Chain A
Amino acid sequence: MTNAIRLPAGKAGNTQYAQRNKAQSTLEITVALIAVFILFLGSVKIFVWVNERMVLRQEAYEKTRVSAGSSNFEVQVDESDFPKLDIFGENAQ
């Protein structure tokens, strides 16, 4: 037993098959496009986040160089103000 749809034979059947197939493809391509878009958006967000964070870390490091090289050995970079990774806007205020 199979659940395959049995289409009527002849020209009408072929047309109907093509329409159903096209509809299926439309759904699939829609989902795929959304996925690709999300993937791309995520890539952009990660790209921006990584680079922004590197720049901020570098700035923070440069600011702590002198104090780290003095008698204050416990200098820590405060990363609490650094941007969070926010791909879907879940951290938006």
Chain B
Amino acid sequence: MNLLDWLVLLGAIVGVAAYGTWRTRHTDNLNTYLKGNSTTKWGTIGLSVMATQASTITYLSLPGQATENGIAFIQNYFGLPLALIVVCAVFLPIYRKLGVYTAYEYLGQRFDRKTRLLGAGIFVFQRGLQAGITIYAPAIILSTVLGWRLDLTIVCTGLLAIVYTVTGGSAAVNLTQKWQMGVIFGGMLTAFVILLTKLPADALPIAGALGKLQAIDYNPDLKVRYTVWSGVLGGFFLSLSYFGTDQSQVQRYIGGARLREGRLGLMFNALLKIPMQLFIVILGALLFVFYQFQPHSPVVYNQTQWQRQLTGPEAESFRALEEKYAKLHAAKQEKIRAWATAQNATDPAVTAEARRDMLAAQSAADAVRKEARTALQAADPTTKKTKDSDFVFIHFILTQLPHGIIGLLLAVMFASALSSKAGELNALGTTSTIDLWRTFRPLAAHDEARNVRAAKVFTAFWGLFAIAFALFVSFAENLIEALNIVASIFYPALLGVFVVAFFLKHVKGTAVFWAAVAAQTVVIAIFFFGKAYPAREIGYLWLNPIGCFTCVLFALILQAALPQRASPPT
């Protein structure tokens, strides 16, 4: 990083944040603070929905995920277009018709107070946990760039996001997200073009031969994490929960000028989400090829921590690991070149043997890389908090891109972190105010200024909760997978409640309340059973349909079994 990078980085971040804060400085109306401006058009809604979902983790962690495991993760998004069609056709018109601030207000109108509190409670708990995960991404960037401790950068970025959100609310989020998305697309495209110029002509065949380009897997085995089936079915339920019942998304599209604006904004995402994610995972797969041809490919991508060990008391053993990896990496390069040459051979046996040699060389190099990561974690336990693959893209940016572009891409990461964190905290503040605080303080409901103050206090509270969670938790998973796993544990029962609300009119509040509690228990039991017995663990996406169906089934059974009594709606 040089002076130019710092100027671009700070200029972009401060400029976007100041613009949003200035334009919304007089936001003291509850409706505007929570729903945003009522004249919002579909383009702004579409970009806002996309920006809220595509956090920095998408740009930082997804390329690393593809570098390590290939592009199969794209199947995770296969249910998304189908789910958005259902949200447009069923969920959105109901929310608009009732004029609710939050999705859980609808549950109160349809069922009763306890079901509304349960829905809001599940949302704020799981979204609070997710906020603790998403805060990692910008903190990783800061700690890598500045060489600061990770916990310090978590606190700094968390506090920045709190100030930004509290001062502007939903209107600021909507207003600045479209500009941030512009910076994001520009930056990612620039990185992609620069990467292409550094790749060999046969980059795609090499990535394919090393198992990084298997986008589609029709394997029916439930234990395989990403397949077409888990993507379409599990991903459908996951996306339906996310876009239909998660206030951080609902808040983005219920505030539009007309029903049409919300629908078009969601259809914009239904069309563009898969191509956009595909672009990012292919970038990750190509990054993998790029590092195969680097003379000094790093044994560990978290170089800040690795370099610290090279000057520490165990420097000898870390240097030995580096040398061992360098030799294996050079051997692998030869095998890859031999395979590329063998592609032109007429004898298929020669090609097959060259590929076997190449894969064996890759396994040997990966084993040393794993050994190095374990050694790093033993020497510095704070590195257990993150996965090394989350550092791949930031390493590429800092070492390969020209100055100025480095600053721009870091600004991209920060801009998206700020916008998605703001959307998330804003939704948590809204739900806590409308569905929890107001329920217990009904007399305060008519005092607009007091409501806005309460929403800002709750927004700050959830920001601090996210910081605290991030400081004390460690991840065994890649960040983007950790997010989806948390969602898959807590969303399904909530979605079940909404499915019952929309489609099973005879089911009442008490039945659906206890059905949701039972379904949540079942999902948590299945998840921890899988962790206790890994051989029987099913892919996490399957938790979504299982939890939703369980909730609906229990609700029907309980409704038939419980004595009939009218529940007072709230």
Chains A and B belong together in one complex:
no
Interface residues of chain B, those whose CB is within 8 Å of chain A, are none
Interface residues of chain A, those whose CB is within 8 Å of chain B, are none
